[in-house]
Amino acid sequence: MSTPAIPPLSAQEKIAKLRATFLQQLPARLVQIRDLCERLKANPADHAAATDLHRQLHNLKGTSRSFGFRELGAAAAQGENLLAEVMTWPAEPHPDNWQKLLDEQLAQVERAAQDACSSFADEAPGQSPAPKASSDQPATRSGGRTVYICDDEMLLLEQLNSQLGCFGYKTTPFTEPQALHDTVLTHWPDAVIMDIDFPQGKTTGIEALAALQRKTGKTVPTIFLSSRNDFAARLRAVQAGGGAYFHKPTRTLELVAALDELTRQQKPEPYRILVVDDEPEIAGYHCVILQEAGMMTSQVSEPSRVLEVLQEYHPDMVLMDMYMPECTGHDLARLIRQVPDYVGLPIVFLSSETDRQKQFSALRVGAEGFLTKPVVPEDLVAAVATRAERMRTLRSLMMRDSLTGLFNHTTTTQFLENALATADRGGANVCFVMIDIDRFKLVNDTHGHPVGDQVILALSRVLQQRLRNSDIVGRYGGEEFAIILQNVPLARAAELIDELRQDFSRVLFRSVNGDFSCTFSAGIAGYPTYRSVELLREAADKALYEAKHSGRNRVALDGMVCLPAEDER
């Protein structure tokens, strides 16, 4: 009999565990504070003891407040303020009663700690909701993205059906809105492309979709097509829930771009946040808050490990405490900024420090912001998300081609280096593909550079739509593209690229000089036959040369030309 899976803890339960851990460790922490106090009383000139005691009280203040133990946080804050005053006095003489004041303040901290433990023990065990296994099963869709096309113009319907298939969409054509309506009720699509004007009326398509929405209570992502371009028609389409509107004749690539946006299935990768705090419980508390907002977190309590974790984790932002035993947040931020790869990495200080001058001093080292503990969870999430998104945008601009959104030459080469290193460790294979659009100069000369850009965009979309998310697609320069396929046999890679070649050759482009289509040639080489980036790239380039000089519109596999399929000759 299998053991039932234990449901994951909720955020509230995770925080409750962190609070309990904090209180369990509180007696040992108070012993440390008392020992430091006795050292300082025995030797008022012991600067190290004073500094450590100040840091301990500062950390206790911030953690207590974050976990909701306000009285303990207030007592620790008073102790911290007294220590700050003591540290400004000259070594001799101290005021006569300073040791008594220190003892009284420490006794107040210990009483507040005892009260915090008692109040936590009195909390009802059922206050945190019990974990429940979810009974809601997410709806799943099988296969690729399904698009229903409804238009009574048979020629346009056939053209859309053929063209969208080249970009990986599974299309079903309809000539009447009622037939589409009945099919949607039993098989829900990923999107609908609907003409507006039918023999039954000038807005029949809009009315059909509106009726479907009323009946199902759901909105299917819809693109409306029409020969009408007036405000009234566009307004009706928007009111019916239309996600896009195209005036006929439509451009396939623009339609595909709209479909991509409406049917996007891949969720954006969660923001990656590195939390640096020598208090594991408070770091864990902030991690839970960020995780509940959909972010990924990594927690570091030792500043000396930060550079190592930065290299492995590649965060979008660093959330850092100001006061830590090995070094201050101020020094750690300067250290990070001295590494070229992290010059632009957002750093936000999160500390119970309330001195505005010290906060401004911290910001001068290049930090993006300063949040004061205890921080409201919503404020923490907003501050982190804003800065992480900006970092993602800047990183994307540096890594991607501006026209296609594909990885640029430099980034693609870095991915290839990483892929070979991974394959070398694990014994996997890697295929490197180089693609070049045939007679592209003639396209630019005949139809103009804007149309040439549309050809480049079309190929980039074909590649992105048909390849796996794990495959790397880059624009290597001009009309040249590169693909990195991992764990794919060389023969299968050749078949896959040949399928893409055939799909791309069927894409129809339009210009003032008439409709036309394009083809590409490709060369493929593989690891471990070629064990370095240079050798692999040289072999793929040589294979591409063979494909070009064997007649173009072909795929060559490491010197062996794979001719087009029989029906294409």
Domain ranges of the chain: 11-124, 146-262, 272-399, 409-568
Average pLDDT over residues 313-330: 86
Please tell me the distance from the alpha carbon of residue 345 to that of residue 367, in angstroms, as a whole number.
Answer: 9
Tell me what pLDDT residue 9 has. 59
Average pLDDT over residues 265-291: 86
Predicted confidence band at 135 (pLDDT cuts at 50, 70, 90)? Answer: very low
Average pLDDT over residues 286-295: 90
* Same fold for the pair 272-399 and 409-568: no
* Max mean pLDDT range (84-98, 209-223, 308-322, 431-445): 431-445
Please tell me the distance from the alpha carbon of residue 365 to that of residue 332, in angstroms, as a whole number.
Answer: 10
Fold of 11-124: Four Helix Bundle (Hemerythrin (Met), subunit A) (1.20.120)
Query: Burial level of 550, CB count in 10 A (0-12/13-18/19+)?
Result: middle
Around Cβ 472, how many Cβ atoms within 10 Å? 21
Average pLDDT over residues 435-445: 95
Average pLDDT over residues 157-182: 89
Q: Are 368 and 346 in contact (CB under 8 A)?
A: yes
Cα 40 off chain centre by: 49
Q: Are 432 and 526 in contact (CB under 8 A)?
A: yes
Average pLDDT over residues 189-216: 90
Does pLDDT of 241 surpass 50?
yes
Superfamily holding 272-399 = Response regulator (3.40.50.2300)
Tokens of 272: 């990656």
35-54 b/e (C-beta count within 10 Å ≥ 16 → b) = ebbeebbeebebeebbebbb
Predicted confidence band at 502 (pLDDT cuts at 50, 70, 90)? Answer: very high
Tell me what pLDDT residue 566 has. 47
Q: What kind of architecture, by CATH, is found in domain 146-262?
A: 3-Layer(aba) Sandwich (3.40)
Closest CA to 72 of 5, 6, 23: 23
Q: Give how far Cα 196 sits from Cα of 202, 226, 245, 475, Å.
A: 7, 6, 10, 38
Please tell me the distance from the alpha carbon of residue 79 to that of residue 1, in angstroms, as a whole number.
Answer: 57
Residue-averaged pLDDT of the chain: 83
Does pLDDT of 560 surpass 80?
no
Predicted confidence band at 116 (pLDDT cuts at 50, 70, 90)? Answer: confident
Tell me what pLDDT residue 231 has. 93
Does pLDDT of 146 surpass 80?
yes
Q: pLDDT digits over 480-495, tens only? A: 999 999 999 998 999 9
Tell me what pLDDT residue 439 has. 94
> What percent of the chain is modeled with pLDDT above 70?
89
Does pLDDT of 121 surpass 80?
no
> What percent of the chain is modeled with pLDDT above 90?
32
Beta strands 296-300 and 317-320 are: unpaired
362-370 long-range Cβ contacts below 8 angstroms, 24+ apart: 362/322, 362/329, 362/330, 362/333, 365/330, 365/333, 365/334, 365/337, 366/333, 366/334, 366/337, 367/320, 367/333, 368/317
Query: 211: which residues sit within 8 A by CB, 6+ positions away?
Result: 181
Beta strands 191-195 and 317-320 are: unpaired
CA dihedral 17, 23, 25, 29 (to 10 degrees): 150
Does pLDDT of 422 surpass 80?
yes
Tell me what pLDDT residue 562 has. 62
Please tell me the distance from the alpha carbon of residue 24 to that of residue 182, in angstroms, as a whole number.
Answer: 63
Fold of 409-568: Alpha-Beta Plaits (3.30.70)
Tell me what pLDDT residue 59 has. 78
Please state which of the ranges 120-124, 236-240, 533-537 shows the lowest mean pLDDT.
120-124
Average pLDDT over residues 287-314: 91
Q: pLDDT digits over 353-388, tens only? A: 777 777 677 667 667 788 887 888 888 899 899 888
Higher pLDDT, 116 or 567: 116
Tell me what pLDDT residue 365 has. 67
Tokens of 125: 């065990």
Predicted confidence band at 244 (pLDDT cuts at 50, 70, 90)? Answer: very high
Alpha helices in 43-133 (DSSP H): 47-66, 70-88, 98-122
The sign of the dihedral angle between the CA atoms of 342, 348, 349, 355 is: positive
Tell me what pLDDT residue 435 has. 97
In what helix (H) or strand (E) does residue 297 lie, and over which residues does it extend? strand 296-300
Does pLDDT of 408 surpass 50?
yes
Tokens 């005949």 belong to residue: 446
